[in-house]
Chains A and B, each alone.
Chain A
Amino acid sequence: NAGVTQTPKFRILKIGQSMTLQCTQDMNHNYMYWYRQDPGMGLKLIYYSVGAGITDKGEVPNGYNVSRSTTEDFPLRLELAAPSQTSVYFCASSTEGGVFFGQGTRLTVV
């Protein structure tokens, strides 16, 4: 049972580059989330989705975009990477039984 799978695990980007963080879950969960976590801090919600075709902004959406074309996949796109986006990114999915996290992507923008 794979759960929530994120790729890549690590990435270094140059300022202005773009990239997509991939997230897929095999639990048929409707709810999916993207969080970022800065060093020593808690989680901040970037975007979330309550089902295929439906996405909404969280508390820190600027500089990011998402799509949810299928129940399984919820990619996060950075269009013009900035140093302020250096962080660890977590994808999660949830059901009433709990929240399941991916292992995270450590992104550094230089």
Chain B
Amino acid sequence: EDKVVQSPLSLVVHEGDTVTLNCSYEVTNFRSLLWYKQEKKAPTFLFMLTSSGIEKKSGRLSSILDKKELSSILNITATQTGDSAIYLCAVYRSGNTPLVFGKGTRLSVIA
């Protein structure tokens, strides 16, 4: 059975800390991995990663896929209270199959 596992499930840090969120996957016909940030409403897209191994960056956020380890990490440096959210990882597969989402990591950044 295809699955996506995120860790930790929840995390509390102080402003300025650096955090690393993990996403591991066991799926057939992997195509790409996506990261989303969800605050109060719909998830918003952060990154799409493929087996190319290229790191993606956007401001204080960065992410990379390790195709050997079947995992991805999302790094957030110099965290701010506005980074508090649920971070979701999802995997795209080839063929007529739906996305597989992990359960998410709830990040709380306190001042």
- Chain A residues proximal to chain B, CB less than 8 Å: 31, 33, 35, 40-43, 45, 48, 50, 54, 56, 58, 90, 94, 96-99, 101-104
Contacts and interface: CB of A to CB of B under 8 A. Distances in A.
Contact of A96 (B92, B96, B103): B92
B104 A50 contact: no
Interface residues of B, number: 22
B101 interface: yes
B56 interface: no
B42 interface: yes
B42 A90 contact: yes
Closest 4 CB pairs of A and B: A42-B104, A42-B103, A101-B42, A50-B96
Of B31, B34, B98, B101, the most chain A CB neighbours within 10 A belong to: B98
A84 B19 CA distance: 34
A28 to B, nearest CB: 17
Contacts of B86: 40, 42
Given A98-B34, A103-B41, A42 B102 contact: yes
B102 to A, nearest CB: 6
Interface in B75-111: 86, 88, 90, 92, 96, 98-99, 101-104, 106
Majority-rule SS of A interface residues? strand
A43 B89 CA distance: 10
A8 to B, nearest CB: 14
A13 B22 CA distance: 38
A101 B48 contact: no
Contacts of B48: 97-98
A98 B45 CA distance: 8
A41 B103 CA distance: 7
Contacts of A99: 34, 36, 45, 90, 99
Nearest to A37: B38
A45 B98 contact: yes
Given A33-B98, A40-B86, A101-B42, 13 more contacts: A35-B101, A41-B104, A42-B6, A56-B98, A90-B42, A94-B99, A96-B92, A98-B45, A98-B48, A99-B34, A99-B45, A99-B99, A103-B42
